[in-house]
Amino acid sequence: MSDQSSFSTRAIRQQMERTQYREHSTPLFLTSSFTFPTAEQMADTFAGNAEGIIYSRYNNPSVDEFIQKMCSLEGAEAGFATASGMSAVFSSLMALVRSGDHILATRAVFGSTHQILTSLMPRWGVSHTYVEPDQQDQWASAVQENTRILLLETPSNPGLALVDLEAAGKFAREHGLILMVDNCFATPYLQRPLELGAHLIMHSATKWIDGQGRSLGGMILGDQALMDEIVFFCRHTGPALSPFNAWLMSKSLETLAVRMEAHCKSALQLAEWLQKQDGISAVSYPFLSSHPQHELARKQMKLGGGIVTCTLAGGADAAMQLVNRLQVCSRSSNLGDTRTIVTHPTSTTHSKLTEEERLAVGISPGLLRISVGLEGIEDIIGDFAQALAPQ
Ligand SMILES: *Cc1c(COP(=O)(O)O)cnc(C)c1O
């Protein structure tokens, strides 16, 4: 299969070599280690002079298939699969920073990424500065002599703030920084940061990549030289993804394109409907013309993604009341599932932040995050309609 094949063909047809059984669907290699025919071949493999798989903390055929597919879909030279999205973020940062380094990050990063930057990295003498995602003209003043990494997320969770990836890539090159992008919300189907100048990307495969709310997983992908350092770090510190989860995720990639098309179509429909409802003061979705970065969204994303946010005019109480009244949608904190999930960030995922910190990343008390699933959208709209109706 050629590199020029379409996205879905690569996601479906790229597969590990068949075993002697000529199985059609890809097999699962649930084994922690591998054997060698002779002591000499084992020695050669350990010395790096012969092909062979040693141990599943290093690599595993089921995990390798998932990595190779993701490399092909993201246009990456190399990758490493991790047990969760956060282990991808943490391992890639820890593999590259040294004590005394400084990280530049856009303010709207994932909650646990914020904890790594603010609570953990200072233990090892690594500092950070937040910059505003949509004010790139001000980033240069935050660059220090010891700045090594530019870390960003677009669209952000849950504020749906976008960063101009092409401009960020240019900025990183001008200032000699490693550009790392959390591409979780977009997936490679909607946005490919490596093609726009990023050096590394991270994924929480738990979300749209698995797409069915079954298991945790993560991935780090990017330039070979940086990945060599990261793979060394990961092999010896042990965040490896389980072969079982990799097997699930690799199968999930086969339907990523059709799923994302459907999630995005329904999300746009729901966003347009929500905009017209009384009691809702704001709706945010990258492909709505009312989104402040709508043009940028159209430029760097194929579709708007599966997340919509809306703000209840009545604040936190009205938001929680709406959540309580929903009968079809799930009250949960995950996203990227076949099932529509509604989350109230102020009282749950972002409750540890101060009010001021929440407002700075666009989380007002009445904000709800909706991860639009694959149910019939008329049923989801109907659910919101009955929950919003005066009772
Ligand atoms: C969920 C999420 C993560 C963390 O992923 P886990 O798989 O839960 O560890 C990181 N970044 C973003 C944008 C996320 O939504």
Task: Give the mutation target among 207, 219, 361, 371 for probing the ligand 1 site: most ligand atoms within 8 A of CB.
Answer: 207
Q: Which of 84, 110, 203, 241 to mutate to test the pocket of ligand 1 (most atoms within 8 A of CB)?
A: 110
Cis peptide before 155 (omega within 30 of 0): yes
Q: Is the peptide bond before 158 cis (omega within 30 degrees of 0)?
A: yes
Q: How far is the CA of 246 from the centre of ligand 1 (A)?
A: 17
Instruction: Calculate how far, in angstroms, residue 110's C-alpha sits from the geometric centre of ligand 1.
Output: 7
Pocket test residue of 114, 152, 157, 242 for ligand 1, highest count of atoms within 8 A of CB: 157
8-state DSSP, 241? P
Q: How close is the Cα of 90 to the center of ligand 1, in Å?
A: 11
Residue nearest to atom 5 of ligand 1 (CA): 85
* Domain boundaries 7-253, CATH class: alpha beta
- Measuring CA to CA, how many Å separate 244 from each of 11, 68, 72, 215, 254? 18, 16, 21, 10, 16
Phi-psi region at 156: left, alpha or beta (left = phi > 0; alpha = psi -120 to 50): beta
DSSP 249-268: HHHHHTTHHHHHHHHHHHHH
* Residues 6+ positions from 166 with CB-CB distance below 8 Å: 196, 197, 300
Q: What is the pLDDT of residue 163?
A: 97
* Atom 2 of ligand 1: nearest residue by CA position: 204
How far apart CA 138 and CA 244 sit, in angstroms, is 45
Which element (helix H / strand E) includes 230?
Answer: helix 224-237
* Residue-level pLDDT at 1: 64
Q: At what angle do helices 377-388 and 315-325 cross, to 10 degrees?
A: 130
- Please give the CATH architecture assigned to the domain spanning 256-388: Alpha-Beta Complex (3.90)
> So what's the pLDDT on residue 18?
94
Cβ–Cβ under 8 Å, residues 193 and 314: no
Atom of ligand 1 nearest to the CA of 184: 13
Phi, psi of 138 (to 5 degrees): -100, 0
Helix then strand then coil, % of the chain, to nearest 5 = 40, 15, 45
Q: Structure tokens of 319?
A: 């938001």
**Atom 11 in ligand 1: residue holding the nearest Cα:** 110
Same fold, 7-253 and 256-388: no
d(CA 11, CA 324): 39
10-residue stretch averages of pLDDT, the chain, 391 residues long:
86 94 95 96 92 93 97 98 98 98 95 95 98 93 98 95 97 98 98 98 98 98 98 98 98 98 98 97 97 97 98 97 98 97 95 90 95 98 96 79
Token pair listed for 262: 């459907």
Domain residues of the chain, as ranges? 7-253, 256-388
Across 19-164, the runs of DSSP E, i.e. the strands, are 78-82, 102-106, 127-131, 147-153
Residues with CB under 6 A from ligand 1: 84-86, 110, 153, 157, 182, 184-185, 204, 206-207, 216, 218
Report pLDDT for 391. 79
The pLDDT of residue 10: 96
Q: Which residues of 85-121 are buried (b: 16+ CB within 10 A; e: fewer)?
A: bbbbbbbbbbbbbeeebbbbbbbbbbbbbbebbeeeb
Can you give the pTM of this predicted structure?
0.96
Q: State in Å: Cα 227 to ligand 1 middle.
A: 20
User: What does the pLDDT read at residue 43?
Assistant: 95
The alpha carbon of 216 and the centre of ligand 1 are apart by a number of angstroms equal to 9
Tokens, residue 211: 């797409």
Query: Cα angle at 98 between 95 and 100, to 5 degrees?
Result: 150
pLDDT in tens, 287-310: 999 999 999 999 999 999 999 999
Closest ligand 1 atom to 88 CA: 9
